[in-house]
Amino acid sequence: MTHPRSRAYLLCPPTYFEVNYRINPWMDPTTPVDTELAGKQWQRLRETLAELGHTIHELPPAPDLPDMVYAANGGFVLDGIAYGARFRHPQRAAEADHHLRWYEQQGWRTHQPAEVNEGEGDFAWTGEVILAGYGFRTDPAAHREVQEVFGRPVLSLQLVDPRFYHLDTALAVLREGDAAQLAYYPGAFSPGSQRVLHRLFPNAVVADEVDAAAFGLNLVSDGERVVLNAEASGMAAKLAAAGYQPMPVELSELKKGGGSVKCCILELRR
């Protein structure tokens, strides 16, 4: 097991979080959201990351953009370059400008995308390869664009279950580098993509449908400590058996919008 590495993360407070439209199977505008509880749960997530030694940056939330709390979808940041988002649904489109403006203000090099993509929702960095999801939100053309922007190899993976509409709901990088290790739920992927994952990452932690439905793969790992949704107890047990230290955080309110730990966190990689 590698030693944990301090990370830099971007989060956005759920000040305006609510579920008043439906753009994924988890969202139900008729189910009440406890905004105060959502704020407390998000704050505990932020505190957990800080207690683990990670650096936290905050993106100011904007009125009328309730999904901004899912900061991971606003870009993909690698090698000091912030590749912006271009959202599939009009309800979230305005989030992209808020993200790019923040990166510019912080001195990051930025790239305005030409293709539809939802940032780290559909892009994951293994330390060697960019894993890229498509099927529901991000266009495959964005995979080619990302490869040109970063000059890094991109591996396309097809998502086929609408419940797992972003790559980060079905797959997570537990450890980066030459000995990269993933966790993923095979049923979220096409048969060909399942075979590719099995061949390239034979040491992966394989999740089941219960783990995935509890957002157990929507996690953040520093190579040793893994922050994940408290509901995903089965996934936590699998991670512990694989040598990781699970750090459960309760995010029941934010799950009502179709996201959990990873959706709230975008990694800033210099």
Measured CA to CA, the distance from residue 124 to residue 76 in angstroms comes to 8
| Tokens encoding 55 | 């650096």
Annotated catalytic residue, options 54, 143, 166, 264? 166
Measured CA to CA, the distance from residue 142 to residue 132 in angstroms comes to 9
Measured CA to CA, the distance from residue 254 to residue 200 in angstroms comes to 33
Beta-carbon contacts of residue 144 (< 8 Å; ≥ 6 apart)? 115, 154
* Catalytic residue status for 143: no
Measured CA to CA, the distance from residue 116 to residue 214 in angstroms comes to 27
Measured CA to CA, the distance from residue 20 to residue 260 in angstroms comes to 18
| Tokens encoding 185 | 């739920």
Annotated catalytic residue, options 54, 99, 111, 263? 263
Q: What is the DSSP letter of 88?
A: S
* Catalytic residue status for 111: no
**Closest to 266 measured CA to CA, from 98, 63, 24:** 98
Measured CA to CA, the distance from residue 216 to residue 249 in angstroms comes to 11
What is the Cα gyration radius of the chain? 17
- 3-class DSSP assignment, residue 66: helix
Measured CA to CA, the distance from residue 100 to residue 105 in angstroms comes to 9
Give the phi and the psi of residue 77 in degrees, each rounded to 5.
-120, 120
| Tokens encoding 87 | 């959202």
Catalytic (active-site) positions = 166, 263
